């Protein structure tokens, strides 16, 4: 009865409060925005319903996170309101048992939270059914979808969250502690999950620690479910989801039990250990005795009060220092910040890896971990703005919370002084935070044995770039608290403000002038420095600082002082406070906002064209609508390019004068030339060596048409010359652009005019095409089209272009202290007028994709002599690298030499006289190959395989992979193309790795390939011959080729490639396709293995091989008889996920191994490894080995494509 009354009263109390419904409303908004901002686009493109169980479940998870942090006060209040309001002497002395009191209060908190979380389905439904959603993405209404998400995700979260928040607040007797509890659980749970997943590589453990259902959504659903499943399948309470729910339910119950045990109906006194130490000082002081009254009449000293600016400065500083100390000494203050920094020190080194290989902690790299833009939601540093919101609330309410509000408000302190003081205090906290982060960074470097600290860079980035953004936000948070004048609503409003900063761009607000505190990204790399990224950033920051000043004026005007919180009176007061200095400040702020805003707008929208993401898409659609008709108009083929390039790094300008040699390779005469120009540069006049008439020039869409007065006859050629000028005008909304900077320049030939209609500009995602009213088109040209000899010249993304082979020549000029690099052999270099010139020319035709570099490179040069039968061929190896980035130089060179050795032998001679490795200024860690050139981004030089616990030299393998591209054939842009490029390159690189480092190292590389990260397996797909996805290109393709080489010998597979290369290397049409390779493979495959070739390439086949049990028995002769019970199955899977079982009766290796001796090796010494005939289903195999076995299994090295990674080999049980 009492329990019921306690519950009823508490529930009724909070359910009538505005705050509760504000949480509800906020959650509705969040859910709505999540659906519209995050899932609507996906649903359109990926073809699942917007109201599918999947979307509802994931919105429930993410909105739940928001609830968890924002609404922690609900449960906190139920636990601690009595003490905080001073009611506890009345309630604690009532004849109520602890169980009734705590139980009733907790239940009320839980029910309230469950009620608030009902906002999620409401928000989802609003987002689905209110206007603005295409009808085709809305599926049938299914109550079960909402109920399962609410019941399996939201309700358990509400219980766990309420329990933790309740416990913290009840035991600390402060409602605010529930927020601390929330944040801590957030970090502990995520930290634990992270730890389990990354360090222990225990996904199962991570799933178990999954408090909010986050892992479930992100890993199981997003990756594992097909679009059809996403649309239809209901989430079920089973497997990891069930277990994680149970684990956390248990933890919540434990927490509640602990709370019950520790809670006392007692007056709050210091009880924890720390305060016991300091208790003596805090105990009641004895009241001093009253002196004799007459004697105590002491005259007050005479002094003068002053109220000039000096006093105001002193007051500001006093308030600032007091504010700083308050926050710093509080529980959520410096201790928490230091703990977070310490956590960063622990976590960061483990995260400084790429594909499992450790990276050198160079300062520029460490800083990417320590900084985050205010507008970036996907970073752990969202904690900083969240803490700022919290701190701002504490500071604005400090006096009033302590009951000193009336006294301080009556003190002669101007409003702006208190505001500025609090802002400075908060600023000091942020300064301390930046200092802690600096220390964290240096500590990380020290821990990792790196000692080039670059303190100046830390200071510039953290204090010069990061701090101002946080300060801007801190000001906003203070202003919000001041204006709202209700602490928790203030928190909520500030959080909503923060959320709208974070998600503005996904809601279509992209201009940085419209999103508080946002600016184009700055970037820093060792080679480029800040480049041109600082200027635009600074202008935007100044602009927002002016806004901040204006906000501060508004805050000063509406600052609540005393008892008057009503809007009318506040406006009245504001009128009175609008004194001349205030008006001056406001006018200055408005003036600055207008001038700076105007200047920025002039740069971003007048000097430059401002395009939104949707605007860009519309332009692509418009291009197709207007010029798609010319897609099949025959055009001459490019055979030669001659350029004069002048790079002016300091002016950030590039001038290019060039000429193309074009040949009519078609059977009919060509009467018009289509020239596509790039929107990033100014393309001047295009001239021809024969009379033409320009009939169309659409500069906006970048298309010009010239009609030849005399048609170009088949076989004839013409010369087209052009001028291209790159000159940034001011800056764009996206910033200053990184292509040309004072320290380094890097651009591609897509600045140059291209011939013909450019299909790659078309929109290709089905949803995007549908949205713009374009007819569907296949994502990639089909293999059948390619085979039929259609003109597929390779106009697609970076990796697939440049199929035609051209002669290339260029003179490149740059600053006197820089080195410029372009394709071709360096013919000559000279200095003229303080500038250096480089003349490059090819001696063998190369693909039409090239890049230009200029920087202060250090150059390493050496020679490789072809060892094969005295050919006398010499290849020059040149490395252009940043002088400080030489750590991997020798490793890369070793890989290049080993590749030259191996590939020359396996696939034929290297076709050029030189190979160039060029470090490419910029972030990122990739490498990329063009003919004669491999460029790698700066990050690649950070690889530190010496510290790789797997003992794997990944950068060596990657470099061998890029080298293999040099032997790649020009191929048609069609289905299955990656098999000829990426799959071939990895297959070839495996050979180099094995030859250099041995078989065991190769197995390490293959083990890395089998990991689902970074490229997760895709089961439902087309056969390799037609596949385009990354899993097929980088994993399954190389595996298939490797399996083939293991079954029939490396020489045969290499021979197939050698023949393919000989036939297609010159790139004459028709270009090579995956079928050409397949024919070569068929030619070398013995009949007995034709089935395997078919399974690997012509069907999307998966083997399911499993050793159920392995036992061994010692024979009388002292040998060991090993018996394996294995199960085998083979299926093909189509893109829709339909599985068809194929009967199996084929050779599969069976292996038995001795105990492992070396760390990191899969197995010990091989005792037995033979092919066995394996049928579908279960079977028993018995083999005899000479020594005591440890492991045994089927296909121990995973030659066949089997997605289950851990069940092939079992530990052998010894039977006596």
Partner 1 sequence: MELHIRDVSKTYPNGVQALRDVTLTIPVGMYGLLGPNGAGKSTLMRILATLQEPDTGAIHLGDLDVVQQKDAVRQTLGYLPQEFGVYPKVSAEALLDHFAILKGIPDKKARKEVVEALLRQTNLWEVRRQKLGGYSGGMRQRFGVAVALLGNPKLLIVDEPTAGLDPAERVRFLNLLSELGENSAVILSTHIVEDVSELCTRMAIIDRGEILLEAEPLGAIEEMRGRIWRSVIEKGALAEVERAHAVISTKLLAGRTVVHVFSDAAPDPGFEPAEPDLKDVYFSTMAGHIGRRREQPEPEMAP
User: Which range, of 300-308, 637-645, 770-778, 825-833, touches partner 1 by CB under 8 A?
Assistant: 300-308
Nearer CB in complex with partner 1: 414/1067: 414
Among 85, 351, 572, 629, binds partner 1 (CB under 8 A): 572
- Using CB under 8 A as the binding rule, whether residue 583 contacts partner 1 is answered as no
- Using CB under 8 A as the binding rule, whether residue 564 contacts partner 1 is answered as yes
- Using CB under 8 A as the binding rule, whether residue 222 contacts partner 1 is answered as no
- Per the DSSP assignment, residues forming a β-bridge with 809 are 642, 841
Nearer CB in complex with partner 1: 405/951: 405
* Nearest-angstrom CA–CA distance, 1035 and 1019: 12
Cα–Cα nearest to 708, from 692, 694, 719: 692
User: Which range, of 69-77, 408-416, 653-661, 893-901, touches partner 1 by CB under 8 A?
Assistant: 408-416
Residues contacting residue 483 through CB under 8 Å, at least 6 positions apart: 554, 555, 558
Are 985 and 993 in contact, with CB atoms under 8 Å apart?
Answer: no
> 697: burial class by Cβ within 10 Å (0-12, 13-18, 19+)?
middle
User: Which range, of 129-137, 219-227, 358-366, 564-572, touches partner 1 by CB under 8 A?
Assistant: 564-572
Nearest approach in angstroms of CB 16 to partner 1 is: 17
- Using CB under 8 A as the binding rule, whether residue 573 contacts partner 1 is answered as yes
Nearer CB in complex with partner 1: 222/404: 404
User: Which range, of 293-301, 372-380, 441-449, 656-664, touches partner 1 by CB under 8 A?
Assistant: 293-301
Among 1, 135, 261, 300, binds partner 1 (CB under 8 A): 300
Nearest approach in angstroms of CB 548 to partner 1 is: 24
Nearest approach in angstroms of CB 169 to partner 1 is: 19
Nearest approach in angstroms of CB 420 to partner 1 is: 14
- Using CB under 8 A as the binding rule, whether residue 561 contacts partner 1 is answered as yes
Among 109, 123, 161, 414, binds partner 1 (CB under 8 A): 414
Provide the 8-state DSSP code for 1138.
-
Angle made by CA atoms 493, 496, 497, in degrees to the nearest 5: 85
- Using CB under 8 A as the binding rule, whether residue 1135 contacts partner 1 is answered as no
* Nearest-angstrom CA–CA distance, 560 and 577: 12
Nearer CB in complex with partner 1: 333/358: 333
The footprint of partner 1 on this chain (CB under 8 A) covers a number of residues equal to 49
Strand order, beta sheet including 933-937:
858-865, 874-881, 914-920, 933-937, 927-930
HSE-up of residue 741 (Cα within 13 Å, Cβ side): 26
Nearest approach in angstroms of CB 475 to partner 1 is: 22
Both structure tokens of 779:
């994502």
- Using CB under 8 A as the binding rule, whether residue 576 contacts partner 1 is answered as yes
Q: CB atoms < 10 A from the CB of 312, how many?
A: 17
- Using CB under 8 A as the binding rule, whether residue 269 contacts partner 1 is answered as no
Nearer CB in complex with partner 1: 319/444: 319
- Per the DSSP assignment, residues forming a β-bridge with 719 are 661
Are 917 and 892 in contact, with CB atoms under 8 Å apart?
Answer: yes
Alpha helices for 308-414 (secondary structure H): 309-329, 334-351, 363-370, 383-396, 398-402, 405-409
Cα–Cα nearest to 421, from 555, 323, 562: 323
Residues contacting residue 97 through CB under 8 Å, at least 6 positions apart: 2
Among 315, 445, 604, 683, binds partner 1 (CB under 8 A): 315
Are 545 and 595 in contact, with CB atoms under 8 Å apart?
Answer: no
Are 936 and 743 in contact, with CB atoms under 8 Å apart?
Answer: no
* Nearest-angstrom CA–CA distance, 309 and 326: 25
Nearest approach in angstroms of CB 337 to partner 1 is: 19
* Nearest-angstrom CA–CA distance, 819 and 855: 6
Nearer CB in complex with partner 1: 296/863: 296
Both structure tokens of 163:
């329990």
Nearest approach in angstroms of CB 564 to partner 1 is: 6
Query: Tokens 């008889």 — which residue?
Result: 1121
- Using CB under 8 A as the binding rule, whether residue 18 contacts partner 1 is answered as no
Provide the 8-state DSSP code for 96.
-
* Nearest-angstrom CA–CA distance, 699 and 707: 17
- Using CB under 8 A as the binding rule, whether residue 172 contacts partner 1 is answered as no
- Using CB under 8 A as the binding rule, whether residue 322 contacts partner 1 is answered as yes
* Nearest-angstrom CA–CA distance, 15 and 9: 10
Cis status of the peptide bond prior to 750, with omega within 30 of 0 = no
Nearest approach in angstroms of CB 165 to partner 1 is: 24
Greatest pairwise CA separation for the chain in angstroms:
123
Q: CB atoms < 10 A from the CB of 1016, how many?
A: 14
Among 18, 147, 246, 283, binds partner 1 (CB under 8 A): 283
Which residues ranging from 65 to 124 are in contact with partner 1 (CB under 8 A)? none
Nearer CB in complex with partner 1: 310/1117: 310
User: Which range, of 72-80, 214-222, 304-312, 549-557, touches partner 1 by CB under 8 A?
Assistant: 304-312
Nearer CB in complex with partner 1: 16/576: 576
User: Which range, of 290-298, 541-549, 705-713, 1146-1154, touches partner 1 by CB under 8 A?
Assistant: 290-298
Among 257, 335, 339, 404, binds partner 1 (CB under 8 A): 404
Among 15, 87, 99, 402, binds partner 1 (CB under 8 A): 402
Nearest approach in angstroms of CB 480 to partner 1 is: 23
- Using CB under 8 A as the binding rule, whether residue 309 contacts partner 1 is answered as no
Are 440 and 344 in contact, with CB atoms under 8 Å apart?
Answer: yes
Through-space distance between the first and last CA atoms of the chain, rounded to whole angstroms: 68
Secondary structure (DSSP) of 291-302: PPTTTT--PPPP
Among 132, 140, 403, 773, binds partner 1 (CB under 8 A): 403
- Using CB under 8 A as the binding rule, whether residue 569 contacts partner 1 is answered as yes
Which residues ranging from 864 to 883 are in contact with partner 1 (CB under 8 A)? none
- Using CB under 8 A as the binding rule, whether residue 287 contacts partner 1 is answered as yes
Among 272, 273, 281, 575, binds partner 1 (CB under 8 A): 281
Nearest approach in angstroms of CB 291 to partner 1 is: 6
User: Which range, of 314-322, 586-594, 654-662, 1034-1042, touches partner 1 by CB under 8 A?
Assistant: 314-322
- Using CB under 8 A as the binding rule, whether residue 295 contacts partner 1 is answered as no
Alpha helices for 202-238 (secondary structure H): 203-208, 214-215, 222-224, 227-232
Are 477 and 388 in contact, with CB atoms under 8 Å apart?
Answer: yes
Are 747 and 820 in contact, with CB atoms under 8 Å apart?
Answer: no
Among 87, 99, 222, 410, binds partner 1 (CB under 8 A): 410
Nearest approach in angstroms of CB 329 to partner 1 is: 8
What DSSP element (H or E) covers 827?
strand 825-832
User: Which range, of 565-573, 697-705, 949-957, 1203-1211, touches partner 1 by CB under 8 A?
Assistant: 565-573
Helix 1050-1064 to helix 1037-1048 angle (10° resolution) is 120
- Using CB under 8 A as the binding rule, whether residue 286 contacts partner 1 is answered as yes
Nearer CB in complex with partner 1: 564/1165: 564
Nearest approach in angstroms of CB 320 to partner 1 is: 11
Nearest approach in angstroms of CB 311 to partner 1 is: 5
Both structure tokens of 1074:
């995956």
Cα–Cα nearest to 63, from 55, 51, 74: 55
Cα–Cα nearest to 105, from 18, 175, 49: 175
- Using CB under 8 A as the binding rule, whether residue 584 contacts partner 1 is answered as no
The residues of the shown chain that bind partner 1, judged by CB under 8 A, are 281-288, 290-291, 293, 296-298, 300-301, 303, 305-307, 310-311, 314-315, 318-319, 322, 329, 402-404, 406-414, 561-564, 566, 569, 572-573, 576
């Amino acid at each position: 009865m009492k329990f019921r009354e306690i519950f009823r009263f508490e529930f009724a109390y909070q359910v009538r409060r505005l705050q509760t419904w504000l949480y509800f409303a906020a959650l509705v908004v969040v859910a709505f925005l999540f659906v519209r901002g995050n899932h609507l686009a996906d649903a359109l493109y990926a073809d699942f319903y917007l109201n599918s169980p999947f979307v509802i479940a994931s919105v429930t998870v993410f909105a739940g996170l928001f609830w968890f942090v924002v609404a922690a006060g609900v449960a906190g209040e139920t636990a601690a309101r009595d003490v905080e309001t001073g009611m506890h002497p009345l309630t604690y002395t009532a004849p109520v048992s602890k169980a009734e009191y705590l139980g009733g209060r907790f239940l009320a908190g839980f029910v309230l939270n469950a009620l608030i979380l009902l906002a999620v389905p409401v928000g989802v439904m609003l987002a689905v059914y209110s206007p603005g959603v295409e009808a085709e993405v809305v599926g049938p209404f299914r109550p079960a979808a909402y109920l399962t998400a609410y019941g399996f995700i939201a309700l358990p979260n509400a219980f766990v969250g309420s329990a933790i928040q309740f416990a913290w607040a009840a035991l600390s007797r402060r409602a605010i502690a529930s927020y601390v509890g929330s944040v801590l659980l957030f970090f502990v749970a995520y930290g634990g999950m992270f730890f389990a997943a990354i360090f222990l590589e225990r996904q199962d453990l991570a799933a178990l620690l999954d408090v909010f259902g986050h892992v479930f959504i992100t890993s199981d659903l997003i990756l594992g479910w097909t679009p059809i499943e996403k649309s239809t399948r209901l989430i079920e309470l089973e497997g990891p989801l069930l277990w994680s729910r149970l684990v956390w339910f248990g933890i919540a119950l434990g927490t509640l039990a602990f709370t019950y045990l520790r809670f006392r109906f007692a007056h709050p006194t210091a009880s924890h250990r720390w305060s016991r130490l300091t208790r003596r000082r805090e105990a009641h002081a004895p009241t001093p005795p009253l002196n004799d009254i007459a004697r105590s009449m002491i005259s007050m000293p005479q002094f003068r009060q002053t109220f000039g600016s000096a006093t105001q400065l002193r007051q500001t500083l006093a308030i600032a220092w007091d504010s700083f100390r308050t926050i710093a000494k509080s529980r959520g203050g410096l201790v928490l910040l230091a703990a977070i920094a310490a956590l960063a020190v622990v976590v960061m080194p483990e995260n400084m890896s790429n594909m499992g290989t450790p990276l050198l902690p160079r300062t520029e790299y460490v800083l990417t971990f320590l900084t985050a833009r205010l507008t970036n939601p996907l970073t752990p540093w969202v904690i900083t703005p969240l803490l700022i919101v919290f701190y701002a609330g504490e500071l604005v309410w400090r006096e009033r919370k302590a009951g000193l509000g009336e006294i301080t408000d009556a003190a002669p302190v101007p409003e702006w002084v208190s505001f500025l003081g609090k802002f400075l205090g908060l600023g000091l906290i942020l300064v301390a935070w930046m200092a802690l982060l600096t220390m964290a960074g240096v500590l990380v470097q020290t821990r990792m044995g790196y000692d080039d600290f670059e303190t100046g860079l830390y200071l510039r980035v953290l204090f010069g770039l990061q701090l101002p953004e946080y300060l801007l936000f801190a000001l906003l948070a203070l202003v919000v608290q001041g204006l709202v004048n209700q602490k928790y609503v203030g928190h909520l409003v500030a959080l909503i403000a923060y959320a709208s900063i974070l998600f503005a761009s996904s809601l279509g607000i992209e201009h940085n002038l419209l999103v508080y505190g946002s600016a184009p990204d700055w970037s820093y790399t060792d080679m480029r420095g800040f480049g041109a990224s600082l200027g635009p950033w600074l202008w935007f920051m100044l602009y927002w600082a002016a806004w901040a000043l204006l906000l501060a004026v508004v805050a000063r005007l509406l600052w609540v002082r005393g008892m008057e919180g009503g809007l009318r009176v506040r406006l009245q007061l504001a009128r009175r406070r609008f004194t001349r200095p205030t008006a001056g400040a406001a006018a200055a702020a408005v003036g600055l906002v207008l001038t700076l805003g105007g200047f920025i707008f002039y740069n971003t929208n007048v000097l430059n064209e401002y395009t939104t993401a949707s605007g860009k898409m519309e332009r692509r659609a418009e291009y197709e609508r207007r010029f798609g008709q010319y897609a099949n108009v025959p055009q001459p083929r490019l055979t030669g390019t001659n350029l004069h390039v002048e790079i002016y790094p300091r002016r950030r300008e590039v001038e290019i004068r060039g000429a193309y040699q074009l040949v009519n390779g078609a059977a009919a005469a060509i009467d018009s030339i289509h020239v596509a120009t790039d929107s990033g540069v100014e393309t001047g006049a295009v001239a021809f060596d024969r009379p033409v008439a320009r009939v169309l020039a659409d500069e906006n869409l970048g298309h010009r048409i010239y009609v030849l007065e005399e048609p170009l006859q088949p076989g004839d050629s013409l010369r087209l010359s052009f001028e291209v000028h790159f000159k940034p005008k001011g800056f764009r909304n996206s910033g200053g652009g990184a292509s040309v900077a004072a320290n380094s320049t890097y651009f591609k030939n897509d600045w140059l005019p291209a011939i013909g209609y450019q299909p790659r500009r078309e929109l290709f995602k089905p949803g995007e095409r549908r949205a713009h009213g374009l007819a569907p088109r296949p994502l990639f040209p089909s293999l059948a089209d390619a085979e039929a000899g259609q003109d597929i010249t390779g106009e697609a993304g970076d990796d697939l272009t440049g199929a035609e082979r051209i002669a290339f020549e260029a003179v490149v000029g740059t600053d006197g202290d820089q080195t410029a690099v372009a394709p071709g052999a360096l013919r000559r270099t000279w200095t003229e007028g303080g500038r250096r010139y480089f003349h490059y020319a090819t001696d063998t035709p190369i693909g039409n994709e090239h890049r230009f570099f200029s920087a202060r490179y250090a150059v390493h040069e050496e020679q490789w002599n072809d060892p094969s039968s005295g050919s006398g061929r010499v290849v020059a190896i040149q490395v252009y690298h940043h002088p400080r980035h030489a750590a991997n130089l020798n490793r890369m060179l070793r890989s290049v030499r080993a590749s030259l050795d191996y590939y020359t032998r396996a696939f034929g001679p290297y076709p050029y006289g030189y190979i160039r490795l060029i470090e490419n200024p910029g972030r990122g860690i990739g490498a990329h190959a063009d003919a004669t050139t491999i460029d790698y981004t700066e990050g690649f030089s950070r690889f530190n395989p010496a510290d790789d616990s797997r003992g794997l030299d990944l950068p060596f393998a990657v470099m061998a992979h890029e080298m293999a591209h040099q032997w790649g054939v020009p191929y048609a842009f069609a289905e299955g193309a990656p098999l000829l490029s990426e799959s071939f390159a990895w297959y070839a690189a495996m050979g180099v790795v094995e030859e250099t480092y041995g078989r065991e190292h190769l197995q390490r590389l293959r083990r890395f390939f089998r990991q689902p990260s970074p490229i997760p397996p895709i089961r439902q797909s087309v056969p390799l011959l037609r596949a385009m996805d990354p899993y097929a290109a980088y994993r399954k393709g190389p595996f298939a080729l490797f399996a083939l080489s293991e079954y029939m010998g490396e020489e045969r597979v290499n021979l197939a490639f050698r023949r393919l290369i000989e036939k297609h290397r010159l790139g004459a049409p028709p270009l090579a396709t995956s079928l050409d390779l397949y024919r070569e493979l068929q030619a070398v495959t013995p009949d007995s293995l034709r089935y395997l070739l078919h399974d690997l390439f012509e069907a999307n086949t998966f083997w399911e091989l499993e050793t159920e049990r392995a036992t061994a028995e010692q024979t009388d002769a002292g040998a060991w008889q090993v018996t394996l019970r294995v199960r085998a199955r083979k299926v093909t899977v189509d893109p829709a996920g339909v599985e068809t079982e194929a009967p199996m009766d084929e050779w599969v290796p069976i292996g038995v191994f001795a105990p492992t001796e070396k760390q990191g090796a899969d197995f010990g010494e091989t005792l037995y490894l033979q092919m066995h005939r394996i049928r579908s289903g279960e079977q028993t195999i018995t083999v005899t080995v000479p020594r005591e076995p440890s492991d045994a299994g089927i296909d121990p090295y995973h030659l066949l494509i089997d997605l289950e990674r851990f069940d092939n080999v079992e530990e052998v049980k010894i039977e006596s």
